Chains A and B, each alone.
Chain A
Amino acid sequence: MNRSTLLSLLGSLIIGAAALQAGTVTYQVTVDTSGFAANTPGFIDFQFNQASTNSLTGLASIDSFTSTGYTFNDSLNYVTSGITGSFSSLPVVIPNDAGATNVFARGVTSFGSIFTAIVTLSGNVVGGTAGDPSQFLVILEDTNGASLFPTLGLVGEIATVTVNTDGSTTPSVNSFAGGSAYVGAPTPEPSTILLGVAGLAALAARRRRA
């Protein structure tokens, strides 16, 4: 076992244990964009979508959004119908069945160093077993709505939480240049924050060594 493996194990231990509750599941999403060039504008795009109408219904609630070094232009927000709330009036609640895709994209005047939010998935979709999958996605976009990392995933997403056909959820992140993403259990107050930070640090260290 080398040093890199030890760091990965450490990261996994730190972020892998998100609290799970039947019908509801909560994740902390933390995205580090500190490596972005200064004054990079764009969007932070949150989506909660079904595979088809065979998917079960649910809500994605985004709360406790905080950021460091970010400036926002809420007048640029792109919001599909059926979504309630805003970042100035949290939570933002995204139903997965208002449309084929359900988008809350917040206009960013300048990406900062980090943002984090608590995302709670709820409804029949969580724990349900009869439907097609649903998925919560986080995408960083340019001012045209194009993913800054278009080769990632389906549409350039950097982080996802998939609600599987058996009702379980699977968080996932994609590596991207200039930063990193974290999707995991909400950070404990307050000591666990350090653990979360430590986990991010460990992930970052592994990436640099890779």
Chain B
Amino acid sequence: MTHVTTRALQVPKQHIALIFFAICLALPAQAQISLTTPGTAYTQDFNGIGTSATATLPSGFKIDKQSTARTSGTYSAAGTATTLAAGASMSSSSSNGMYNFGDSATSSDRALGFVASSNGTVSGNLYAAFTNNTGGSLSSFDIAYKVEKYRNGSSTAGFRYQLFYSTDGSTWTTAGSSFLTSFSADANNNGFTPAPASSTAVSATLNLSVANGSTIYLDWQYSVGTGSSGANAVALGIDDISVTPKSSASSTAPTATGAATSVTADSATTFSGTITPGANPTSSGYNVTCNLSSFSSGSSTFALTVSGTTISGTYTVPSNTTASTYSIPCSVADTESTPRTSNFNISLVVSSVSTPPTATGSASVNPVTSGNATTLSATATSGTNPTNNNLSETCNLTPIGGGSAVSLPVSYTVPSNTTATTYSISCTVRDTESTPRTSTFTISLTVNAPPPTTRLISEINGSGTTSPYAGSSVTTRGVVTGVRATTGSTKGFFIESVSADRDSDSNTSEGLLVFIGNASLPSCATVGNYISIQGTVQDFVPSTAPTGSVPLTELSSTSNCSVLGTPGVSSLPSAVTITSSTLDPSGSATQAHKYQGMRVAMSNVVVVGPSTGTVDEVNATSTVSYNFYVTASGVSRPFHTQAGIQGTRRPSDAASTVPTWNGNPEVLQIDASALTGGTNVAVATGTTISSISGIMDYDTGGGQYQIACGSGGIGTISPSSPTLSATANPAPLSTDLLVVDANIERFYNTVSNGGDVVLTSTAYQGRLSKLSLAVRNVMRMPDIIALEEVEGPTSGTSFPVLADIVAKINSDASANSQGSPNYGYCGGVTNDPGLIAPAVIYRQDRVTQLECSQYGITTTYTLPYTTTPTTNTLNDRPPVVFRGRAKASGSDSSLDVRIVVNHLRSLNGIDQPGTANGDRVRTKRNEQAKYLGKLLSGNLGSEQSTNWTSTDNLLVAGDMNAFDINDGYSDSVNCIAGSPAPASQIYTTQAQQNASSPCTAISGLSLTNLTTTDTAQRYSYSFSGIAQRIDHVLVNSILNSRVRQVTYTRVNADFPEGPTYRNDFTRPERYSDHDAPAVYIKLPVEVTSRSRVNATALALNRATGRQIGTITVTNTGTSALTGPVYVFFTNLPAGVTLPDLPQSNGIPYATITLPSGLAPGATSAPATISFANPTNARVAYTPKIYDVNF
């Protein structure tokens, strides 16, 4: 400054303004650094000067170099910019001078310093000027900085930085050894990478009084340690300067005062207070803590909240605190770098806890029966602090019909309509303090309902299928006639009216099931006890049954069972005798309802459905379970031939146009072990039993009446163990094509494929053996077998189970001299979760495969819905189509037959309520049948273009899981055949109708559902004792003319589960649960090539217009003809007909009987033929001659 001022004095006056302006421009580099706040540091890291070699120093800083050692210049004369720049990898020959140091030319971390030389730059000075603008005197300065080394120096004199200070910028005083930073000689003058190589921190206090408004100058002097030469200098820089001025005034700590609200123990006190800030410097923040260790839960450093200078806080005084006035020591500290602290106390007055009065209450009559009185009273205890024995109690009796604040004691009559339960009555005790103290207590009171009205069993049952007292609590009585189960969730027992309690109405049952469920049987439930019992009458219908189903009337939620007498087992009510007149096949579905719960007995019972069982699929065995099915002697075997919905499970919203099936009420299910002591028995269809006695029960799962049996309930069984054997099919003629449809029931192998059952090797070989026996010896080695439920792949063409089946049959046939059928197979993939699929096996010695294909693999259908439609896979087991060619021995021509094998959706869940349940099942069944109808009639569009019904000998086989009649939910089979029941006769829900249209007849689709002429044999399955057709073979009219015979392979349906059949791998019976329809198709035996037709000339009968002739057949071959022979007149001229002759496929044929055959060379007796020939066209035709079959 001085230097500049001096120069300003040398210029003309007229230039003063201009010079002043120039000075002003230079001021940023020469202005002193203003210190305004004691304790507040000024800092400078030089990072703002940039990377230039001629960088301008920050404001207040200056720099110079001196040619003599350890020499300072003047602040005013010093420059404001560096002259050089360096950093990493400084050369040993770097220029001397004032440096802008940095690790690189671009690094923003800068420092200022010097490199000396022998005599150019021997000293370097970095100056800074600070002006005290704090408003007061300063007494010292805390000064910190770093000395950074950018190059070695080998000068033995070493180099150092020494801080000097000055009050005028020209006369300098050393700041002392605390500010001396020395560097001894290095081995070389090399630079560093990275740089600096070292950074030495310096921090010390410079005691120096500086009056307000005065300026102090600092000089970081760089120079050789001793001597006068600056050669081989160490390059040193100054960085990160911090200068903190310190006031000379005295420092005071902050102080505080506080208070706390008086509390009782276990209550929260509120702290408050005010802080007086410390001075010099003035406190800028505070921490206030109190020592609460006098209290059991208190912290010694409990922190209070500070907002500005206001203190606040809360603390919950522990309940165990002794009443006293506590002086809580607290301290306040400011947040200065060296906090200043002072202490103060807060006085807290804690009082003792005041407790309210307490009480306990009771009811004098408890439990109390509604309608009766009980006295409510209480015993009260005074509260504390203070004690006050003037107490009163009130209770809220509104839950039991009383007032909301009834004073105790009180005699209270519980209203008769009070719900029976246990009440917790809320009460309050209070004292008479100015602010009354209260507490609550409860009185538990159990209110019992009055005993329900006694209803006789006949009243409970009523004369209909539902109870007039359903939902009501009743008391009833009767003799225990049987205990249904003693464990599990279906425990219960039956009671029956004693004679005196019976009414005169034969339609009201005198028996009743007492359902206990999971609970323990009451001790009264002993057969022979005459008991009284309370409970709720329930008309039970399982959730899986349609709304409207016939319920099981029972007594549930029972209580108060008491024994009225013990007449004993020998005095049980007499059993009702069930006879053929009782079991009317045409009676109502509920004709047995009037006996429900009553003891019943039958004699000379006929088994119409074999014993069911539990199948162990892994081991291919089963055990006999409890059910089989009977009817009375003299009642014909029941067949499911009536269309409609089962009468006991008819949905209440079914239209009246939907027919009802009476469920074959002549069948009774026998639950052989329903009652204590009962045992399961294995009986086949046709078995007779001398007697059955038990209790008439109702199976809500199937809607079927059953007799629950116990010990001695099953009489003498004849035969005592099953002796029924499979009935072999009639032997086919050599000219027959025998086609059988067989559901072989979940036929898996030993390999896991996900979803299947993995059989043991023994079980698998056993199943193969049984099936082989059935095919060879019972089915009579059919030419073609349509299979259902054989394990199939989800994709691909590998069919290991089919391969095993045919290999087993072929090898067994060979081993047993049964020829070489050489069965082959045609398989299909499956979409079924259980991996079962349809397939075909066929004798390759008699049938040639023309086609093996499958349809509908990816077809979907719309699920029933209410708002948003979604789709799902339609065909779990897509139909397999096999087309084969068969030729009778010696025939000129063969027969091509197309067989479509199906396994449609089962009946399971068909009537279960719900869109995802029955709706879905019915929709799927309907859509599957419609799809099949389209397929058979050639209406699948691009998927299939051939109308099979008109072009092929078409045979449709399979487990259709549907009857030959409309079941009221779908008419699948007749839909497939082309003659479905009207939509009005089929139950559907709106959700179904949204997704699926009814099946309607398809033009040209008219299939005949084959069955045997023997009506007693028209079944393939036995379900709940009812013989029925669910496995079907349908043919088109072309093939129907060739059907010689239909039968059912009797090998499964009538045979009971258990060891005798299924478990015996050496016999065929019960290899499945389905019997197999067998169709004998007449193969053509064309002998045109070895016979001749001889025709006589025609003669015209002018009266009739007919042209009459005769024909004979001559055997021109070498083997005899069997006869009858059939002469077909093919290629007749247009208009020429043979009206008197039958036709096959539109071709007339004459039949010539051969009573003794026709030997080679022989000629038959003549047959007259009569042409209608209105145009008198010359008669021409090509005769085709067939023997036996055409």
Report the stretch among A2-10, A26-34, A111-119, A131-139 that lies at the interface: A131-139
Whether B1102 pairs with A52 at a CB distance below 8 angstroms is no
Whether A101 pairs with B1103 at a CB distance below 8 angstroms is no
Is the C-beta of B1181 less than 8 angstroms from some C-beta in chain A?
A: yes
Whether B1098 pairs with A51 at a CB distance below 8 angstroms is yes
Query: Within the complex, which residue of A50, A54, A78, A162 is in contact with B1098, where a contact is CB–CB below 8 Å?
Result: A50
Query: Within the complex, which residue of A54, A97, A157 is in contact with B1099, where a contact is CB–CB below 8 Å?
Result: A157
Interface centre among B1095, B1096, B1102 (most CB of A within 10 A): B1102
Is the C-beta of B1108 less than 8 angstroms from some C-beta in chain A?
A: yes
Instruction: List residues of chain A with CB within 8 A of the CB of B1109.
Output: 51, 154
Compute how far the CA of A139 lies from the CA of B1101 in the bound complex, rounded to whole angstroms.
10
Whether A147 pairs with B1098 at a CB distance below 8 angstroms is no
Is the C-beta of A53 less than 8 angstroms from some C-beta in chain B?
A: yes
Is the C-beta of A85 less than 8 angstroms from some C-beta in chain B?
A: no
Query: Within the complex, which residue of A52, A139, A144, A146 is in contact with B1180, where a contact is CB–CB below 8 Å?
Result: A52
State whether A145 and B1102 are in contact (beta carbons under 8 Å apart), knowing that A100-B1107, A132-B1095, A154-B1109 are contacts in the complex. yes
Whether B1099 pairs with A101 at a CB distance below 8 angstroms is yes
Interface 1/0 per residue, A32-51 and B, CB below 8 Å: 00000000000101010111
Whether B1176 pairs with A55 at a CB distance below 8 angstroms is no
Query: Within the complex, which residue of B1102, B1107, B1171 is in contact with A105, where a contact is CB–CB below 8 Å?
Result: B1102
Q: State the Cβ distance, B203 to closest chain A Cβ, in Å.
A: 139
Is the C-beta of A203 less than 8 angstroms from some C-beta in chain B?
A: no
Whether A55 pairs with B1097 at a CB distance below 8 angstroms is yes
Is the C-beta of B347 less than 8 angstroms from some C-beta in chain A?
A: no
Instruction: List residues of chain B with CB within 8 A of the CB of A55.
Output: 1097
Is the C-beta of B1178 less than 8 angstroms from some C-beta in chain A?
A: yes
Is the C-beta of B1173 less than 8 angstroms from some C-beta in chain A?
A: yes
- What size tier do the contact residues of chain B reach? 20 to 34
State whether A50 and B1102 are in contact (beta carbons under 8 Å apart), knowing that A100-B1171, A100-B1177 are contacts in the complex. no
Q: State the Cβ distance, B1136 to closest chain A Cβ, in Å.
A: 8
Instruction: List residues of chain B with CB within 8 A of the CB of A157.
Output: 1099
Instruction: List residues of chain A with CB within 8 A of the CB of B1101.
Output: 145-147, 154-156
B1095 and chain A: residue at smallest CB distance: A51
Whether B1096 pairs with A133 at a CB distance below 8 angstroms is yes
Instruction: List residues of chain A with CB within 8 A of the CB of B1178.
Output: 50, 52-53, 97, 99-100
Instruction: List residues of chain B with CB within 8 A of the CB of A153.
Output: 1099
Please provide the chain B residues from 1087 to 1146 with a CB less than 8 Å away from any CB of chain A in the complex. Answer: 1094-1103, 1107-1110, 1136
Q: State the Cβ distance, B1024 to closest chain A Cβ, in Å.
A: 64
Q: State the Cβ distance, B307 to closest chain A Cβ, in Å.
A: 130
Query: Within the complex, which residue of B1094, B1107, B1180 is in contact with A101, where a contact is CB–CB below 8 Å?
Result: B1107
Instruction: List residues of chain A with CB within 8 A of the CB of B1099.
Output: 47, 49, 101, 135, 137, 139, 153-155, 157
Q: State the Cβ distance, A128 to closest chain B Cβ, in Å.
A: 14
Is the C-beta of A63 less than 8 angstroms from some C-beta in chain B?
A: no
Q: State the Cβ distance, A47 to closest chain B Cβ, in Å.
A: 6
Interface 1/0 per residue, B1167-1183 and A, CB below 8 Å: 01001010011111100
Whether B1181 pairs with A52 at a CB distance below 8 angstroms is yes
Compute how far the CA of A155 lies from the CA of B1106 in the bound complex, rounded to whole angstroms.
9
Whether B1110 pairs with A145 at a CB distance below 8 angstroms is no
Whether A155 pairs with B1108 at a CB distance below 8 angstroms is yes
Interface 1/0 per residue, B121-157 and A, CB below 8 Å: 0000000000000000000000000000000000000
Instruction: List residues of chain B with CB within 8 A of the CB of A105.
Output: 1102
Q: State the Cβ distance, A98 to closest chain B Cβ, in Å.
A: 8
Is the C-beta of A204 less than 8 angstroms from some C-beta in chain B?
A: no
Interface 1/0 per residue, A70-85 and B, CB below 8 Å: 0000000010110000
A45 and chain B: residue at smallest CB distance: B1102
Whether A133 pairs with B1176 at a CB distance below 8 angstroms is no
Is the C-beta of A103 less than 8 angstroms from some C-beta in chain B?
A: yes
Instruction: List residues of chain A with CB within 8 A of the CB of B1110.
Output: 154
State whether A101 and B1168 are in contact (beta carbons under 8 Å apart), knowing that A144-B1103, A145-B1102, A147-B1103 are contacts in the complex. no
Instruction: List residues of chain B with CB within 8 A of the CB of A78.
Output: 1102
A43 and chain B: residue at smallest CB distance: B1102
Q: State the Cβ distance, B938 to closest chain A Cβ, in Å.
A: 38
Q: State the Cβ distance, B436 to closest chain A Cβ, in Å.
A: 132
Instruction: List residues of chain B with CB within 8 A of the CB of A45.
Output: 1102
Whether A103 pairs with B1100 at a CB distance below 8 angstroms is yes
Whether A155 pairs with B1181 at a CB distance below 8 angstroms is no
Instruction: List residues of chain B with CB within 8 A of the CB of A100.
Output: 1098, 1100, 1107, 1136, 1171, 1173, 1176-1179
B1097 and chain A: residue at smallest CB distance: A135
Instruction: List residues of chain B with CB within 8 A of the CB of A147.
Output: 1101, 1103
Q: State the Cβ distance, A20 to closest chain B Cβ, in Å.
A: 19
Please provide the chain A residues from 147 to 182 with a CB less than 8 Å away from any CB of chain B in the complex. Answer: 147, 153-157, 162-163, 165
Instruction: List residues of chain A with CB within 8 A of the CB of B1179.
Output: 50-53, 100
Compute how far the CA of A156 lies from the CA of B1101 in the bound complex, rounded to whole angstroms.
8
Q: State the Cβ distance, B1109 to closest chain A Cβ, in Å.
A: 6
Instruction: List residues of chain A with CB within 8 A of the CB of B1181.
Output: 52
A137 and chain B: residue at smallest CB distance: B1099
Instruction: List residues of chain B with CB within 8 A of the CB of A43.
Output: 1102
Interface centre among B1094, B1107, B1109 (most CB of A within 10 A): B1109
Whether A135 pairs with B1100 at a CB distance below 8 angstroms is no
Instruction: List residues of chain B with CB within 8 A of the CB of A156.
Output: 1101
Compute how far the CA of A45 lies from the CA of B1100 in the bound complex, rounded to whole angstroms.
10
Q: State the Cβ distance, A67 to closest chain B Cβ, in Å.
A: 21
Whether B1102 pairs with A80 at a CB distance below 8 angstroms is no
Interface centre among A53, A78, A105, A153 (most CB of B within 10 A): A53
Compute how far the CA of A100 lies from the CA of B1101 in the bound complex, rounded to whole angstroms.
12
Whether A134 pairs with B1176 at a CB distance below 8 angstroms is no
Instruction: List residues of chain B with CB within 8 A of the CB of A135.
Output: 1096-1097, 1099
Compute how far the CA of A137 lies from the CA of B1097 in the bound complex, rounded to whole angstroms.
10
State whether A49 and B1098 are in contact (beta carbons under 8 Å apart), knowing that A99-B1177, A99-B1178, A100-B1173 are contacts in the complex. yes
Whether A134 pairs with B1097 at a CB distance below 8 angstroms is yes
Interface centre among B1100, B1108, B1173 (most CB of A within 10 A): B1100
Instruction: List residues of chain A with CB within 8 A of the CB of B1098.
Output: 49-51, 100-101, 154
Compute how far the CA of A155 lies from the CA of B1102 in the bound complex, rounded to whole angstroms.
9
Instruction: List residues of chain B with CB within 8 A of the CB of A146.
Output: 1101-1103
Q: State the Cβ distance, A168 to closest chain B Cβ, in Å.
A: 14
Q: State the Cβ distance, B1101 to closest chain A Cβ, in Å.
A: 4
Q: State the Cβ distance, B1170 to closest chain A Cβ, in Å.
A: 9
Interface centre among B1094, B1099, B1109, B1168 (most CB of A within 10 A): B1099
Compute how far the CA of A178 lies from the CA of B1095 in the bound complex, rounded to whole angstroms.
32
Query: Within the complex, which residue of B1095, B1100, B1136, B1176 is in contact with A155, where a contact is CB–CB below 8 Å?
Result: B1100
Whether A103 pairs with B1097 at a CB distance below 8 angstroms is no
A162 and chain B: residue at smallest CB distance: B1097
Interface centre among A55, A99, A103, A147 (most CB of B within 10 A): A99
Instruction: List residues of chain B with CB within 8 A of the CB of A139.
Output: 1099
Compute how far the CA of A55 lies from the CA of B1094 in the bound complex, rounded to whole angstroms.
12
Instruction: List residues of chain A with CB within 8 A of the CB of B1108.
Output: 154-155
Whether B1097 pairs with A51 at a CB distance below 8 angstroms is yes
Whether B1107 pairs with A51 at a CB distance below 8 angstroms is no
Q: State the Cβ distance, A15 to closest chain B Cβ, in Å.
A: 22
Q: State the Cβ distance, A149 to closest chain B Cβ, in Å.
A: 12
Q: State the Cβ distance, B1131 to closest chain A Cβ, in Å.
A: 11
Q: Could you list 4 further interchain pairs (A-B, Cβ under 8 angstroms) beyond the known A100-B1100, A165-B1094?
A: A51-B1096, A147-B1103, A154-B1099, A154-B1108
Sample 22 A-B pairs with CB under 8 A, ordered by A number: A43-B1102, A47-B1100, A49-B1100, A50-B1098, A51-B1179, A52-B1095, A52-B1181, A80-B1176, A97-B1178, A101-B1098, A133-B1096, A135-B1096, A135-B1099, A145-B1101, A147-B1103, A154-B1096, A154-B1108, A154-B1109, A155-B1099, A155-B1100, A162-B1097, A163-B1097
Please report A residues at the B interface, Cβ cutoff 8 Å: 43, 45, 47, 49-55, 78, 80-81, 97, 99-101, 103, 105, 132-135, 137, 139, 141, 144-147, 153-157, 162-163, 165
Which 8 A-B pairs rank lowest in CB-CB distance, beginning with the nearest? Answer: A145-B1102, A146-B1103, A99-B1176, A135-B1097, A101-B1100, A53-B1180, A51-B1095, A155-B1101
